[in-house]
Amino acid sequence: MIIEIWTKEKYARNEEEAFIARLAHAGLKVKTARLSRLYRVDADFTKADFSRIASDLLTDNITEHCSLTPGKAGLKNAYRVEVWLKDSVTDVVGESVKEAVADVAGKPPAAVRFGRAYYVPCASGLKLKQAVSKILVNEVVNKFKIEKC
Amino acid sequence: MQNPLSNFTSLSQKQLAELDRTCGWSLNALELAEVQREFRKMGRQPSRGELETLAQTWSEHCKHKTFSGPVSFKSGSKVKKYKNLFKETIVKATKTLDRKWCLSVFTDNAGIVEFGKNGKWGLAFKAETHNHPCAVEPYGGAETGVGGVIRDILGVGLGAKPVLNTDNFCFGYLDSKKKLPKNSHSPERIMRGVVEGVRDYGNRIGIPTASGGLYFDDGYLLNPLVYVGCAGLIPTDKIDKKVVPGDLVVSIGGRTGRDGIHGATFSSANIEEDTSASAVQIGHAVNEKKTLDVLMRARDLGLYNAVTDCGAGGFSSAIGELGSETGARIRLEDAQLKDTRIEPWEIWVSESQERMILSVPKAKLKKLEAILNAESCEYCVLGTFPGDGQLLVTHGDEKIVDLPMAFLHGGVPNFEKKAARRKVKIIDGAPLQPAKTYGGILKEMLAHPNVCSRHSVITQYDHEVQGGTVIKPLQGKYGDGPGDAAVIWPQAATLDLNDFAGFAVTHGFNPAAGKIDPYQMALHTVDEAVRNLLCVGAEISRTAILDNFCAASPRDPEVMGDLVLAAEGCHDAAMAYGAPFISGKDSFYNQSKDADGKEYPIPLSLLISATAPVEDIRKAITMNFKEAGNPVYLAGVSRRGLGGSVYGDMMVAGNNYIAPLDMKAAVRMYTALLKAIKTGCVCAAHDVSQGGLAVTLAEMAFSGGFGAEIDLSAAGREKGLSALELLFGESPSRLVLEVVKDREAEFLKHVKGLPVGEIGFVNEEPLLDVNDGGVQLFREDIFALKTCWKRELI
Amino acid sequence: MKPKAIILRGTATNCDIETFNSFKYVGAEPELVHINQLLSGEKKVLDYSLMAFPGGFSYGDDISAGKIYAVKMSRLSADFGAFIKDKRPVIGICNGFQILVKTGFLPENKGNAQVSTLYTNDCGHFLAKWVKVRINKKSPCIFTKGLPEEIELPIAHGEGKFIVEDKKIMADLTARELHAMTYSENPNGSMLDIAGITNAAGTCFGLMPHPERNFFAWQNPDRPAAAREAAAAGYQFFKNAVDYVG
């Protein structure tokens, strides 16, 4: 199960602007972008368990909201970039979230991995890929995919 | 295909080299032949685990073959031979000086000097580099670099409590126009990643990152340098460690996984495009913090006899080192693993982060386990130290390593390296007169990447956690002036708020001078470090220093020549300043192929990290002007030459001469100045270094919110010195002092007969007005100067 | 008798020792207690008369700052609730403030729901610098009694932007002067420049700046010779707490 955590739009501007500025630095000019955090929780839990983990543990309900169906950014003509650490790389955040999930759910998940998603409306997926490679991902440690939303 | 290990002893030289490449060992032909000979003698074939162990133990990273090897140095027609360059220069100075307050030098994970008054504490200090990993994955490379050097401090003696982290970085210019080869990162990205890595690791583990430096030169475009250091406090009765036969081998902290395969051999090979993914890890500061908390409690309860860190080579090096006399009997099936898809020999050599090895008496294991559990720290008991001198490693029924320790630690062969003096053309005429005004040049210089404010980096670090950073990297009226040295009051280690003993830490670094004159560079670098310590009022007669050399390929005789000259400089400077080296490290092969396929080496880079005690931290001083009306003095003689200066980098200087340093005169002057500072008649001091005197004055002025009326006619200077050299030259052993106005007479008594001249006074009006014998050189608003200086680097 | 102060720890609670030293210096008898010791029943919070949540990066601040520590505390919320209700002084500094906010102990509300948050700084990253803060003299906060109107303290946090969504809660907070400390120049984007808040009794106080790092004048980045050897503003926070129970 992948849980996606969104910063509410009114609090997300700083983060988005910083990201847009870095894209521009890498040669890609865009006007908007949305960002989210992803937690892949590998566990034999019920939907209710996952919902509770998402809203009680992983989301700051003041500034964020969560979704159990990732990929809905509400942007037109956007690409979605999903970035994870490679499986061979120890996922430090994933490890500590795994412990916290066990505390909340009362049973430990098999694994938790932490990732990020970026939603960028732009004309060329290739250009986006180049920009992302320059500033965001390092294929030594990351795996990533880009797809049209 | 036949497994080459099954007939290892009969492989040809070519086949051995091929095997070495496939396995990524970075052993040379001589070393491979030696391994082959040994196994022929034993009459059997080696296992993969044994070869891996040897490759790790004999790697450049673990053995420092280049620096501690024989060198033949050719200078003109003269040839000088060294059997062991390191021992005959750096170690020799320490041995000759033979300071009583040096408690442990060159033997343990870090050097240790006495700290405080009653002989209760020692201060452990160590600096490391993590260059190659940072070039490949800046964030993870920097994190694991910081984690590694902290473990050096945790693993020195029976463990020191880290109270300070240091960081010094070298990057290519952020706006560099040079085309980069495929797969290399832009300097901007490397810098961002490295800063974030140091930030996230240091902040999370709760150690202040409070001293460091940042240096830009296009020589570092493909090979950035990341020096990380750590200082910690250790009770003097916890310095000795000794494994007792029968002790258990206990690994605490992180688990072992495939993520840490092949780091030690990696640092010996030039970076290639196909660098294996697993060579770089992401740091886990929280695991290391657990380890730290457990160690400090267990140390004070005496629950183990010895400890060391798992660094390069993983278990194989750490256990090999601890058990070098007793031997070790290890059962790898008992290791805590990250995942099960790992070969037994990989467990043995994996460099997974955040692990420490303890030697634990059987009777104390229970108590140790209670602490480990209380701190939620994972651990495993891997075996014992038997006392038979044999290293026997098994996994279930499978034998992984079965070798005598003596071979592991004694066998490495070494060969003579050729060194030659580099030819550099010195232009020693009068410098070219610039078209710009001095004020204009100063403004441009303040914005130069090697001069401008470092606040955008420093403020990302928690430089005050533990509450002991009393002289901060950013200081003065607005909390943003550039300090010369950090002063640490280690209350979090001593737990005593009524003990005012502290220590200062700073650095010297000047690769630009090294390109012209490596010997003088070494002298200047040590001088700069000592002078920085003086500026805060530290006891410079008790200076202890660390050397960290980074160089390109030692196969190039000129690279080796630079190293020889700098090492000789280190020796001479240590002797002159009475400052022993207590620990050091080196990193070679910092060169790569550029976009056109040409070799692109770094300049010789010597970082001197220095520390000295501060008797009463309440009396330490900062660099900003404090009060209008106070007289301003320049100490030291300004000498000719613009070699290695920031000015020389900015403009066509027409001169690259570097003035030789008179170390005796420097020591005499510094000793007198320290007395003056300690009696309280000096209220601010700042060294003259990057950018020269004009920059020093500007920084003191805008950090205090005061202007100054300066007339340099009383400034000591060499004959024929131009105004340009006076303002922007970087000749060494100079500093600017602000003297308390009603204690001027007292100050003058201290400096009688020394080249210390009054050059003006601090002014309420925020203007820096600099004249020389009636000629105005420039007159600038201090806030305008500050605006130029206070750039956001990232 | 010296009042016993519980200094709460967990993994990567990094400012525990200087907080311990500060309480000891002003006359308390501090003890470092790991959350594991509370969860196992080895120690009980109600055995102490003062409580501190020090700064740091508890459990790496993964998910969000203080969140995992807050989750671990949830099984003990009755004890913590009783401690606060009993008006025994509680101070949460930086990460400690984040924990108090995420457990819902601050701002005070009936169901201990999280009604506010400390979010990522506007600059987007960790920031360590000295700032000037104003002390709300009308606030019931016992920790800030007797301090001048403006003092200097260092901040060191990545998530310090104080946000209250519900306008009523915010109006109530200010009407009752529970915003005990505000920034003179807002470093992180906090609503109403809020740097620290208290409960109505004034006994439970959370703040982002670090008073234990400006405990003595020689810890100040500006070191005028004359003022170098005195206690500084931060000292008063701890002294007030000890005086209150003593």
* Mean predicted confidence (pLDDT) in B547-566: 97
Q: Identify whether residues B41 and B105 lie together within a single domain.
A: no
Q: Is A11 on the interface with C (CB under 8 A)?
A: yes
Q: What are the residues whose beta carbons fall under 8 Å from the beta carbon of B448, sequence distance 6 or more?
A: B646, B649, B650, B691
- Output the pLDDT for position C226: 56
Q: Round to whole Å and give the CA distance between C49 and C245.
A: 7
Q: Round to whole Å and give the CA distance between C236 and B281.
A: 45
Q: What is the ipTM of this complex?
A: 0.97
Q: Round to whole Å and give the CA distance between B552 and B600.
A: 9
Contacts of B489 in chain C (CB under 8 A): 218
> Residue B28 is part of which domain span?
1-45
Contacts of C36 in chain B (CB under 8 A): 374-376
- Output the pLDDT for position B23: 84
Say yes or no for a CB contact (<8 Å) between C221 and B374.
no
- Output the pLDDT for position B275: 44
Q: Round to whole Å and give the CA distance between C73 and C82.
A: 14
Kind and range of the H or E element at B469? Answer: strand B469-471
Q: Identify whether residues B105 and B39 lie together within a single domain.
A: no
Kind and range of the H or E element at C44? Answer: none
Residue B209's domain is classified under what CATH number? 3.90.650.10
Q: Among the three residues B370, B395, B410, which one is the final residue of a domain in this structure?
A: B410
Other Cβ atoms closer than 10 A to A140: 19
Q: Identify whether residues B223 and B360 lie together within a single domain.
A: yes
> Which chain C residue has the Cα nearest residue A58?
C63
- Tell which residue, B638, B661, B636, B639, has the closest CA to residue B754: B636
**Which residues of C are the active-site residues?**
94, 210, 212
Q: Round to whole Å and give the CA distance between B662 and A75.
A: 68
- Tell which residue, C73, C90, C35, has the closest CA to residue C245: C90
- Output the pLDDT for position C183: 98
- Output the pLDDT for position B266: 43
In a domain, B398, yes or no: yes
Q: Identify whether residues B231 and B376 lie together within a single domain.
A: yes
Say yes or no for a CB contact (<8 Å) between B282 and A25.
no
**Amino acid symbol at A59:** T
What does the radius of gyration of chain A's CA atoms come to, in whole angstroms? 16
Q: How confident is the model at residue B183 (pLDDT cuts 50, 70, 90)?
A: confident
* Mean predicted confidence (pLDDT) in B527-542: 98
- Output the pLDDT for position C246: 84
Q: Round to whole Å and give the CA distance between C226 and C224.
A: 6
Q: Round to whole Å and give the CA distance between B729 and B438.
A: 13
List the single best residue of B459, B496, B499, B619 to mutate versus C (max C Cβ within 10 A): B459
Please tell me chain A's helix, strand, coil percentages from 3-state DSSP, rounded to the nearest 5.
35, 30, 35
Please say whether the dihedral angle defined by the alpha carbons of residues B625, B630, B636 and B642, taken in this order, is positive or negative.
positive
Q: What are B112's two structure tokens? A: 């240790």
* Mean predicted confidence (pLDDT) in B649-677: 96
Q: Round to whole Å and give the CA distance between B246 and B254.
A: 25
Size of interface A-C (CB pairs under 8 A): 53
In a domain, B369, yes or no: yes
Give me the residue from B139, B258, B275 closest to A88, CB to CB: B258
Q: Identify whether residues B242 and B313 lie together within a single domain.
A: yes
Q: Which of B1-5, B15-19, C38-42 holds the top average pLDDT? A: C38-42
Q: Model confidence over B13-50: pLDDT tens digits?
A: 999 999 888 888 888 888 899 899 989 999 999 998 99
Q: Round to whole Å and give the CA distance between B431 and B416.
A: 42
- Output the pLDDT for position B407: 81
Q: Identify whether residues B322 and B214 lie together within a single domain.
A: yes
List the single best residue of A42, A86, A88, A142 to mutate versus B (max B Cβ within 10 A): A88
Q: What are the residues whose beta carbons fall under 8 Å from the beta carbon of B691, sequence distance 6 or more?
A: B445, B446, B448, B450, B451, B645, B646, B647, B728, B730
The strand pair at A78-85 and B474-475 is best described as unpaired
Average pLDDT, chain C: 96
Per the DSSP assignment, residues forming a β-bridge with C50 are C5
Q: What are B531's two structure tokens? A: 């002078």
- Rounded to 5 degrees, what are φ and ψ at B74? -105, 120
Q: Is C120 on the interface with B (CB under 8 A)?
A: no
- Rounded to 5 degrees, what are φ and ψ at A125? -65, -30
Task: Tell me the percentage of chain C whose pLDDT exceeds 70.
Answer: 98
Q: Is A90 on the interface with B (CB under 8 A)?
A: yes
* Mean predicted confidence (pLDDT) in B79-84: 96
> Low-confidence residues of chain A, pLDDT below 50?
none
- Do the beta carbons of residue A26 and residue A135 sit within 8 Å? yes
Task: Tell me the percentage of chain B whose pLDDT exceeds 70.
Answer: 97
Chain A closest-CA separation from residue B143 CA (Å): 12
The single residue listed with the structure tokens 């913590």 is C80
Other Cβ atoms closer than 10 A to A125: 14
Contacts of C124 in chain A (CB under 8 A): 14-15, 18
Q: Round to whole Å and give the CA distance between B443 and B294.
A: 51
In a domain, B56, yes or no: no
- Output the pLDDT for position C232: 93
For residue C141, pLDDT beyond 60: yes
Q: Is C32 on the interface with B (CB under 8 A)?
A: no
- Do the beta carbons of residue B82 and residue B71 sit within 8 Å? yes
- Do the beta carbons of residue B187 and residue B224 sit within 8 Å? yes
Q: Identify whether residues B14 and B136 lie together within a single domain.
A: no
Q: Among the three residues B410, B435, B456, which one is the final residue of a domain in this structure?
A: B410
Contacts of A60 in chain C (CB under 8 A): 64, 67, 114, 117, 119
- Output the pLDDT for position B60: 74
For residue C135, the 8-state DSSP code is E
Please say whether the dihedral angle defined by the alpha carbons of residues C73, C79, C82 and C83, taken in this order, is positive or negative.
negative
Q: Model confidence over B233-279: pLDDT tens digits?
A: 999 999 999 999 999 999 999 999 988 886 444 444 554 434 454 56
Q: How confident is the model at residue C227 (pLDDT cuts 50, 70, 90)?
A: low
Q: Among the three residues B410, B435, B453, which one is the final residue of a domain in this structure?
A: B410
Say yes or no for a CB contact (<8 Å) between B622 and C34.
no
What does the radius of gyration of chain C's CA atoms come to, in whole angstroms? 16
The strand pair at C4-9 and C50-53 is best described as parallel
Give me the residue from A25, A90, A138 closest to B259, CB to CB: A90
Q: Is A100 on the interface with C (CB under 8 A)?
A: yes
Q: Is A9 on the interface with C (CB under 8 A)?
A: no
For residue B724, pLDDT beyond 80: yes
Q: Round to whole Å and give the CA distance between C204 and C194.
A: 16
In a domain, B237, yes or no: yes
In a domain, B71, yes or no: no
Which residues in B254-293 are b (16+ Cβ under 10 Å) and which e? bbbbbbbbbbbbbbbbbbeeebebbbbbbbbbbbbbbbbb
Q: Model confidence over B688-715: pLDDT tens digits?
A: 999 999 999 999 999 999 999 999 999 9
Q: Is B781 on the interface with C (CB under 8 A)?
A: no
- Output the pLDDT for position B409: 77
Q: Identify whether residues B119 and B41 lie together within a single domain.
A: no
Q: Round to whole Å and give the CA distance between C197 and C178.
A: 5
Domains of chain A are 2-148 (3.30.1280.10)
Q: What are the residues whose beta carbons fall under 8 Å from the beta carbon of B525, sequence distance 6 or more?
A: B508, B509, B510, B513, B573, B606, B607, B608
CB-count exposure of residue B719 (10 Å: 0-12, 13-18, 19+): exposed
Q: Model confidence over B139-159: pLDDT tens digits?
A: 999 999 999 999 999 999 999
Please say whether the dihedral angle defined by the alpha carbons of residues B637, B643, B647 and B652, taken in this order, is positive or negative.
positive
Contacts of C64 in chain A (CB under 8 A): 60
In a domain, B196, yes or no: yes
Could you give the number of structural domains in chain B? 3
For residue B88, pLDDT beyond 50: yes
- Output the pLDDT for position B277: 46
* Mean predicted confidence (pLDDT) in C36-61: 97
- The chains in contact with chain A, meaning 3 or more Cβ pairs closer than 8 Å, are B, C
- Report chain A's terminal Cα–Cα distance, integer Å: 19
Q: Is A95 on the interface with B (CB under 8 A)?
A: yes
Instruction: HSE, CB side, 13 Å, CA atoms: give it for residue A93.
Output: 19
Which listed residue (B61, B132, B448, B750) is catalytic?
B61
Size of interface A-B (CB pairs under 8 A): 44
- Tell which residue, B536, B676, B522, has the closest CA to residue B612: B536
- Output the pLDDT for position B2: 59
In a domain, B555, yes or no: no
The single residue listed with the structure tokens 């300070």 is B164
For residue B756, pLDDT beyond 70: yes
In a domain, B472, yes or no: no
Q: Is C124 on the interface with B (CB under 8 A)?
A: no
Q: Identify whether residues B216 and B361 lie together within a single domain.
A: yes
Domains of chain C are 4-245 (3.40.50.880)
- Output the pLDDT for position B262: 65
Q: Identify whether residues B362 and B255 lie together within a single domain.
A: yes
